[in-house]
Each structure stands twice: as structure tokens, then as C-alpha cells.
């Protein structure tokens, strides 16, 4: 996916001539700018000074931006002395629970201005762009181009750009990573060992890079898309899986304006507004992804049955919305499913050949060594912990980057029976805890911050090895 920030000239309030203004009127008929006194209340907590400092996209520059990252880098921060109140997003989600997608979209765009973008996949989430247009506000759009999309999807991107007078700017996967994956495992390895590795390279990592240039993003997630995994998606939340421009946990806000909308109502809206749609929809496709991993569904089948059809239903997620996936719970605490003997089972994480899984004797031996042959980086984790899950992608990517560098990367499951030991001997305070074991020191060094992105972790390793 590539990050595209776009806004149609027809929806900017900064048009330069009456001729251009008359063009807007003819394009939208008698449509007037939304009356939203009930929406734009003091509860928005918007920093007015900051909003005024941010220049609307395309206002007086060429339409096409070269990259989301340079665009984000020009954002003006609040002046010293400005006080930006923190928003209680759980409370806001409850307040907006019964709000219309249009009202939610309007609040999101009003609150974050130039710091927010719509994620567009080329499927029915084109509705998000239509809602954004109807607010009358400038808006940005981005998409990820995996290199494996259907020809119809690429044509649809072009149609959407022309229809709305916008430019979608795309974020692509890293060419070296794609080349290494294809050379080592072939073009269709996901049919044999699952789609997660390919999605991580082609989708998750590009998305992570894109979101680092934002403070909020807008998605087309709906509860009815996958009742088994998305049934608890809120309309707005602090993103539990990705980091934003400021870095660290809580630095990115995720808006899901159509979370509570049924799929059939989305389609009624698209038809009523005469919105262009992907030609694949007329061929039986409902949920649309990459060409090798998507197929039409039969009448009566759920839309997600057309995605990764060769895998178990519980695996039908690519990782872009991992933080929203519903987990099996034990007494409501998210610790796993309970069996008759009282034990729990949870899918393990950090599962890759580049990460060594340490047993209790293994990490005890590592602690005892006075002169190690190589340094070790170890994460103390619990697979049910949402913060451990959120950093999985970064830690796996870090392990791949450090492969062959002389630094061993490992994990130690420190919950359950091992928690007391980890607290006493391994400085465990909360999950995850990351430790660096130097070559010539007995005491491990604890990673001091909550910034768990790849660059921050790599800087920590490089400073100590």
C-alpha cells in the first residue's frame, strides 16, 4: 500500500476565483457545506493555532506529492505554551456509537486536519472517500500497492482519482525484501506455509512506514466483515498495533466510521450516490485483496471466505488490523481459552527462524555466562499481551535485519509459572520487557523506553554491541 494524501480541488475552501467556485456549485448541485454546530463542539479539543499553521494539501502547489513521509515532515508543531488536551477516546467512541458515518468522518477530519489520511484498498471502502467529500473538508487518501493486485483494481484506482479529482499516492514494499522472499521461497510459497510472511513484507511493513508520518488514520473496518475476529471494532480508538508521527504507544489514533454499518447498507449508499466501484464486484468478488489470494464467493458464503481460502477461518487476516482482532478470553482477561484441566492455550508470537526460543534452563545459562561469544537481545513476553502482539512485527523485522550480524535475537515466555523468576532475576516489570546481554558483562541491560519501532530498537542494539 502506498500512502496517498489527496484532496479534491472541489472540496477546498481556498479556491482562488469565482469561476472556480461556480464550477464547484455545478459539480455538486445545490449541496451546501454541512451545518455542524453540534459536531464541532469544544469537545473536539483541536489546537486552533496548529490547524491554522498547516497548509491544506494542493492549495498552492503541484497536485501530486512525492511521498507521505516528506509531507508529514512539514507539519507544524504547536508553539511552546500551547496546551493540547488529551482526548478520552474510549469515552468518545461511546458518544459516537450511534452516530452516522458522515458525522464520524467529519469529526475525524476536523480534529486532525492535515495529520490524518484515509486508507483505501480498492474495494467497497471507496465509501470512505465519498463520506469525506460530503463533509466539504480537505482530505487525504493513501493505498498500499503490493505488486500482486488484480488489473481491475489498478484500473479502479485510476477511476477513483479521476472521479474525485484527487491523486492517490502509493506506498510500495521494499524491493530487496520482496526479492529475498521470492528468490528463497518462490512466488507462491503462501499456499504451502501460510500468507502471513508475504503479507508482512508486502503490506504490514509498508503500512507501518506510512503511518509513521501521521497522527491518525481512517479505515473501512466493519464488525460484520468477520464476526469471529472483528466483532468488537470501535468507531474510534488509540491504535493498539501501530505507531504514529510522535512515536511510542498511543501516538496514533484509528477511526473506523463504518464499524457498525452492515455491508448491504454500504452498497445501498454507494448506489444512491452513484459512486464508482471495482469491476471485480460484478464478478462475485466481495472482499478484494491480492490476486493470488482472492477469489469470488458463492451465494450464501461470507465475504471473507474468498480470502486465503486454503487456510483456517481464524487465520483470515493479513495483519493490518491485528490490534482489533477478537481474542479467546479466560474470565474476560484475554489470557486464552480454558480447558477442562484448567490450562490455557494461546497462539504463540515472535515465531520465526531468526528468533531463538529460550527455555528456563536456556535463559538461566545465559545469565550465568561471564564471557559470551556473542551478545543477545531477548524479549520477555506473554503471547496474550496486546502490547507484545503490537510489537511483534517490529521485533521480527529487527531479527531479520540482525541475522548474520553476530547478535543473537531470542524470546522467553515469562508469564505463568515463570513470572516470579522473571521479576526477580530478569528485571521484568511489565510485558514486554526487552533485555540486551553484552558479550563481556554478566548483567543484562534493560531497554528503557516504550518506543518499540525497528529504528529505536536498532539504535539501542548498536549503542551496546
Q: What are the catalytic residues?
A: 385, 388
Bridge partners of 217, per DSSP, are 117, 254
Angle formed by the axes of helices 151-164 and 126-135, to 10°? 10
Determine contact, residues 465/437, Cβ cutoff 8 Å: no
Bridge partners of 344, per DSSP, are 338
DSSP-derived 3-state class of residue 449:
coil
Among candidates 387, 443, 432, which has minimal Cα distance to 410? 432
Determine contact, residues 221/256, Cβ cutoff 8 Å: yes
User: At 425, which helix (H) or strand (E)?
Assistant: helix 419-425
Give the integer Cα–Cα distance in Å for 385 and 334.
Answer: 8
Chain-centre distance of CA 37, in angstroms? 31
Compute the half-sphere exposure of residue 213: CA atoms within 13 Å on the CB side of its CA.
Answer: 21
Chain position carrying cell 536498532: 458
Determine contact, residues 43/175, Cβ cutoff 8 Å: no
Q: How far is CA 135 from CA 36, 80, 361, in A?
A: 9, 32, 60
Among candidates 157, 241, 171, 254, which has minimal Cα distance to 214? 254
Q: What nine digits make up the cell of 198?
A: 508475504
How many of the other CB atoms lie within 10 Å of CB of 45?
14
Chain position carrying cell 452492515: 262
Amino acid at each position: 500500500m502506498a500512502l496517498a494524501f489527496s484532496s479534491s480541488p472541489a472540496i477546498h475552501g481556498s479556491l482562488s476565483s469565482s469561476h472556480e467556485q461556480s464550477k464547484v456549485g455545478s459539480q455538486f448541485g445545490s449541496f451546501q457545506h454541512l451545518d455542524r454546530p453540534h459536531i464541532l463542539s469544544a469537545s473536539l479539543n483541536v489546537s486552533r493555532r496548529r490547524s491554522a499553521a498547516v497548509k491544506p494539501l494542493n492549495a498552492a502547489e503541484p497536485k501530486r506529492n512525492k511521498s507521505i513521509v516528506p509531507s508529514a515532515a512539514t507539519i507544524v508543531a504547536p508553539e511552546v505554551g500551547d496546551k493540547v488536551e488529551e482526548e478520552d477516546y474510549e469515552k468518545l467512541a461511546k458518544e459516537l456509537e450511534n452516530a452516522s458515518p458522515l458525522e464520524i468522518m467529519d469529526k475525524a477530519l476536523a480534529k486532525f486536519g492535515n495529520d490524518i489520511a484515509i486508507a483505501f484498498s480498492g474495494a467497497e471502502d471507496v465509501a470512505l472517500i465519498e463520506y469525506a467529500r460530503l463533509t466539504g473538508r480537505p482530505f487525504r487518501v493513501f493505498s498500499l500497492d503490493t505488486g500482486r493486485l488484480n488489473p481491475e483494481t489498478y484500473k479502479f484506482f485510476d477511476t477513483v482519482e479521476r472521479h474525485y479529482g484527487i491523486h492517490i499516492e502509493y506506498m510500495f514494499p521494499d524491493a530487496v525484501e520482496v526479492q529475498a522472499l521470492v528468490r528463497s521461497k518462490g512466488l507462491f510459497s503462501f499456499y504451502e506455509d501460510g500468507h502471513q510472511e508475504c503479507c508482512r513484507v508486502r503490506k504490514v511493513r509498508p503500512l507501518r512506514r506510512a503511518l509513521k508520518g501521521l497522527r491518525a488514520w481512517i479505515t473501512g473496518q466493519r464488525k460484520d466483515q468477520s464476526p469471529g475476529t472483528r466483532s468488537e471494532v470501535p468507531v474510534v480508538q488509540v491504535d493498539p498495533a501501530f505507531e504514529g508521527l510522535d512515536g511510542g504507544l498511543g501516538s496514533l489514533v484509528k477511526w473506523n466510521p463504518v464499524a457498525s454499518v452492515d455491508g448491504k447498507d454500504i452498497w445501498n449508499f454507494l448506489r444512491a450516490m452513484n459512486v464508482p466501484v471495482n469491476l471485480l464486484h460484478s464478478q462475485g468478488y466481495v472482499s478484494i485483496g491480492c490476486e493470488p489470494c482472492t477469489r469470488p464467493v458463492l451465494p450464501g458464503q461470507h465475504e471473507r471466505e474468498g480470502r486465503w481460502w486454503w487456510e483456517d477461518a481464524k487465520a483470515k487476516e493479513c495483519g493490518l488490523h491485528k490490534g482489533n482482532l477478537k481474542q479467546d478470553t479466560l474470565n474476560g482477561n484475554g489470557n486464552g481459552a480454558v480447558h477442562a484441566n484448567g490450562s490455557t492455550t494461546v497462539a504463540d508470537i515472535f515465531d520465526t527462524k531468526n528468533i531463538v526460543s529460550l527455555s528456563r534452563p536456556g535463559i538461566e545459562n545465559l545469565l550465568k555466562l561471564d564471557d559470551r561469544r556473542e551478545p543477545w537481545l531477548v524479549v520477555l513476553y506473554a503471547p496474550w499481551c496486546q502490547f507484545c502482539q503490537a510489537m511483534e512485527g517490529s521485533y521480527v523485522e529487527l531479527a531479520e535485519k540482525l541475522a548474520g550480524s553476530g547478535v543473537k535475537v531470542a524470546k522467553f515466555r515469562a508469564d505463568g509459572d515463570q513470572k516470579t523468576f522473571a521479576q526477580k532475576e530478569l528485571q521484568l516489570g511489565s510485558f514486554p520487557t526487552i533485555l540486551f546481554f553484552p558479550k563481556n558483562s554478566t548483567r543484562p541491560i534493560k531497554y528503557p523506553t516504550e518506543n518499540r519501532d525497528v529504528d529505536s530498537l536498532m539504535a539501542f542494539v548498536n549503542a551496546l554491541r
